[in-house]
Amino acid sequence: MNIPEEIRIVEIGPRDGFQSIKTWLPTEHKTAIVKMLLSAGVDSMEATSFISPKAIEQMKDASEVVESVKGHADMDRIYALVPNAKGAERAHEAGVGRIAVVISASEAHNLNNVRRTPEESLQELKIIRREFPSLKVKLSLGTAFGCPFQGEVADSKLIFLIDGVLDLGITDIALCDTVGVADPLQVIRRVGLLQRRYAAQDVDWGMHLHNTRGLAAANTFAALTLGINKFETAVGGLGGCPFAPGSSGNMATEDLLFMAARMGLASKADIGSVIRTAEYIRDVVGLPIDSKINTQTRDTVTAAQGRADQARRPSS
């Protein structure tokens, strides 16, 4: 096993967590949550999405959310998801320097999600790179482990898209289990195959794991054994793709932090602060959360954090 000594957290709750909620969430709640999570020390964050309000009304205040972050934290930690060149233009105008572009390996899901084939989305990404060269781009490779419409997704579908984005100079790639169908052995086989194929490339692999069938933690551990150390998680286990039937919440950020602490793996994020953010979402915003680590297990959390801190101290 090649388990890393430290994990990196890409917090996606403010984007993936809120996009499927039908009831309008006031902008002040969104901005408070973004600031709380940044203060908690997450490495980076998908703070919002510049998607058409006609598609997802919840994201119509994307510019206001971004504006609230300026001056509060290093903007280099902030991503915004964009579906197309128009979204990239709006993100750029709002002052975002990093964007995430979703392209699904499954043609059926990509058509349902952004009304384009994967090939057409790749052409759109080329336009984004040409029109906004200063934007740093992450590929969120959707349905990387299975599709709600087509079932299994062939390795060749992923390889086609990865080859395409690498040709554009994009090396930040998140492998997304969009509907939570992956299993640990599949993660080891597929991610291992991609690592070997692109060993000569400086790819920064990330994992985006939904917990639809309760396997997010097991799949996270499988990825850890391959040396993957970047995980996209959502505070409170929020999340779900509104364009993918059966998609539900993500791996909870606080659960991953607890798991890492128990294993002696370091993280910049403070688990207590993340738990308090989940409590704010539950008690103030009024959203149900789905995480195993909460106020009832605070003593266990503290002990695990102490263990992780001890593991990071150099021996005398």
Just list the catalytic residues: 241
Across-strand partners of 49? Answer: 81
Give the DSSP H/E element, type plus range, for residue 67. helix 62-69
Cβ(142)–Cβ(125) under 8 Å?
no
Task: Tell how far CA 293 is from the center of its chain.
Answer: 19
Contacts of 27 (CB under 8 A, 6+ apart): 61, 64, 65, 68
* Bridge partners, residue 99, by sequence: 80, 137
Contact between 269 and 287 under an 8 Å Cβ cutoff? The reply is no
Place of tokens 């997802």: 56
Neighbours of 68 (CB within 10 A): 18
Angle at 248 between CA 53 and CA 252, to 5 degrees: 105
Is the distance from CB of 215 to CB of 186 less than 8 angstroms? no
Is 120 within 8 Å of 126 (Cβ atoms)?
no
